[in-house]
Amino acid sequence: MMATQVFIGRKNELDRLKALHKKKTPNLVVVKGRRRVGKSRLINFFATSCPENRLWDFAGLAPQAGMNDQSQRDHFARQLATHLKLPPFTFQDWTDAFEHLRRHIKPGDIILFDEISWMGSKDPSFIPKLKAWWDKQQLPIMVVFCGSVSTWIEENILKSTAFFGRINLTITLEPLPICDANKLLRTSGFKGSDYDTYKLLSILGGIPWYLEQITPGQTADDLIKQLCFEKDSLLVLEFDRIFHDLFNGKGASYKKILDSLKDGMKTLADVRKITGFPHSGTLSSFMEHLIIAGFVSKQNLWSFKTNKPLKQSLYRISDPYMRFYLKLIEPQRNKIDLNGFQNTAISSLPGFEAHIGLQLEQLLLQNRNVLLASIGINPADIIASGPFRQSKSTTKAGCQIDFLIQTTTKNLFVCEFKFKRRELGANVISEVQDKVTALKAPRGFAVIPVLFHIGGVSSNVATSDYFYRIIDTSDFLKTED
């Protein structure tokens, strides 16, 4: 993404957009993804690679009390007037608004409807009229529907009969991978160690807008304190903004679900028991919305023998910032609002370093392809992978594995993540051995331990032949020129 005048990453997405734009036909694109992940920035940067074509960018107004469909049309009209350098005008109907735009567009133009869910949510005729406008297009233009409310986009555009067969490209924009996130941090002025870089990334994730908020010349702890533990600071207020903007008045229900997951993976039955949701489709629907929004992941448990998913699935918070807010920021809100951390080191928070270790797990799991490449596993050879929990029973012990990979050749890779500032000693071998012993693997399977670390390993661990790979996650921070 972009810090000052620099745009980092997103090569694949840009290549796909450029290839489509070269076709010189009317093209319809959908870009969705988590709030702050850089959707509109991607389209704006792409437009700079087509300087001969004009970018028409329109953004919906964020929901607020008293807003109606006319409010959105008035905002659209003001933006269009600005593009045309004309005095403001008014549209009483979306058909008139789209028709007025049509009169001014030229071949090759790029039209961005940003936060389209906000633009159209108050008027049930918005989608039919937008579809009718698009169906009349003959000029080779690119129209991009973009938004953070991915559930609205799924239901009203991607799965809608109105746009069936009309969408040429769908992009789900993911957080930046570790190497690009690190590059953005460095471009933004951060100069800390690899350990401190991971400390920041484990909270900010690969969310470009968060990474750009750092102040150059400060340590990781100072930055975390500034962003997360000062009154009215960015990441103190961000959680409520997300839930206000994305979940349309139902934020409290979605937050109950996240609260139930903040201490680790849970089954749907576990979540229902904690939250008190009734036995209906409501909880499943809300959970699916959180998954589509990019905040929760569903992990299907599977049978080693049959390679088929089991009925039971595990859910976890997949977004590093979300988990950090619920675990460390929210419990301290009263103290934060009283400026109680002004003279306090955040490292003094109970269990802070242990929490950071768990945050790092979420970050690494978001970068699955990097993990697989470092082990030397071809994704095509994988039957299943993910965090794994084996429940205790009369025939087997319970165990929890940070990341388990089953391949077509009957290998089970047991991956352990360690985020320690100091070298890991021989006790890490015994810890992993306990998990391997507890894991109920079928006859004929090989259980292969892998260690991911940041602070180094002692010589007796390095020279031991216990681990198939000992991988220094500092290598993931390196970027290609």
CB atoms within 10 A of CB 39: 24
User: Considering the chain, what is the average pLDDT of its residues?
Assistant: 92
Is 82 a domain residue?
Answer: yes
The confidence band for 233, taking pLDDT boundaries of 50, 70 and 90, is: very high
> Residue 4 has what pLDDT?
43
Q: In this structure, are 350 and 371 located in the same domain?
A: no
More confident position, 306 or 321: 321
Same domain, 155 and 199: no
| Any domain includes 71 | yes
Answer yes or no: do 436 and 288 share one domain: no
Q: In whole angstroms, what is the distance from residue 287 CA to residue 222 CA?
A: 35
Q: What is the reported pLDDT for 324? A: 96
Long-range contacts of 306-315 (CB under 8 A, 24+ apart): 307/383, 307/384, 307/406, 309/384, 312/267, 313/267, 313/268, 314/265, 314/266, 314/267, 314/387, 314/389, 315/261, 315/265, 315/266, 315/267, 315/268, 315/271, 315/287
- Identify the band that residue 2 occupies on the pLDDT scale cut at 50, 70 and 90: very low
The reply to whether 449 falls in a domain is yes
Last residue in a domain, options 142, 173, 204: 173
CATH number for 444:
3.40.1350.10
Answer with the residue of higher pLDDT: 433 or 309: 433
Judge contact between 236 and 336, C-beta under 8 A: yes
Of 120, 147, 173, which residue sits at a domain end? 173
Domain that holds residue 422: 367-477
Looking at the structure, do residues 15 and 163 belong to the same domain, yes or no?
yes
Q: Which residue carries 């088929």 as its tokens?
A: 308
- Tens-place pLDDT, residues 183-198: 999 999 999 999 999 9
Q: What digits encode the pLDDT tens for the residues 296-306?
A: 999 888 888 88
User: Which of 128, 156, 173 finishes a domain?
Assistant: 173
Query: What distance in Å separates the CA atoms of residue 375 and residue 432, rounded to the nearest whole number?
Result: 17
Is 402 part of any domain?
Answer: yes
Q: 359 in a domain, yes or no? A: no
Q: Can you say how many angstroms the Cα of residue 430 is from the centroid of all Cα atoms in its chain?
A: 34
Q: What is the pLDDT of residue 193?
A: 94
Q: Is residue 452 part of a domain?
A: yes
Do 134 and 43 lie in one domain? The reply is: yes
Task: Classify 217 in phi/psi space as left (phi over 0), alpha (psi -120 to 50) or beta.
Answer: left
Please state the rounded mean pLDDT for residues 171-186. 96
Q: Give tens-digit pLDDT for 351-400.
A: 898 899 999 999 999 999 999 999 999 999 999 999 998 888 888 888 99
Distance between CA atoms of residues 157 and 153, nearest Å: 5
Query: Which pLDDT score, from 0 to 100, does residue 479 have?
Result: 62
Q: Does residue 373 sit within a domain?
A: yes
**One domain, residues 320 and 435:** no
Q: What is the pLDDT of residue 480?
A: 56
Q: What does the pLDDT read at residue 230? A: 95
160 Cβ contact list (under 8 Å, min separation 6):
127
360 domain residue, yes or no: no
Confidence of residue 121 (pLDDT cuts 50, 70, 90): confident
pLDDT tens-place string over residues 241-260: 888 778 877 888 999 999 99
Domain shared by 187 and 52, yes or no? no
Residues 196 and 139 in one domain: no
Which pLDDT belongs to residue 296?
Answer: 96
Q: Residue 88: what pLDDT?
A: 87
Do 298 and 193 fall within a single domain? yes
What's the total number of domains in the chain? 3
CATH assignment at residue 246 = 1.10.10.10
Confidence of residue 24 (pLDDT cuts 50, 70, 90): confident
Q: What is the mean pLDDT of residues 137-163?
A: 91
The domain that contains 120 carries what CATH number? 3.40.50.300
pLDDT of residue 346: 87
Residues 381 and 312 in one domain: no
Residues 6+ apart with CB under 8 A from 313: 267, 268, 298, 299, 300, 301
Same domain, 156 and 213: no
Distance CA 315, CA 311 (A): 13
Regarding whether 131 and 70 lie in a shared domain, the answer is: yes
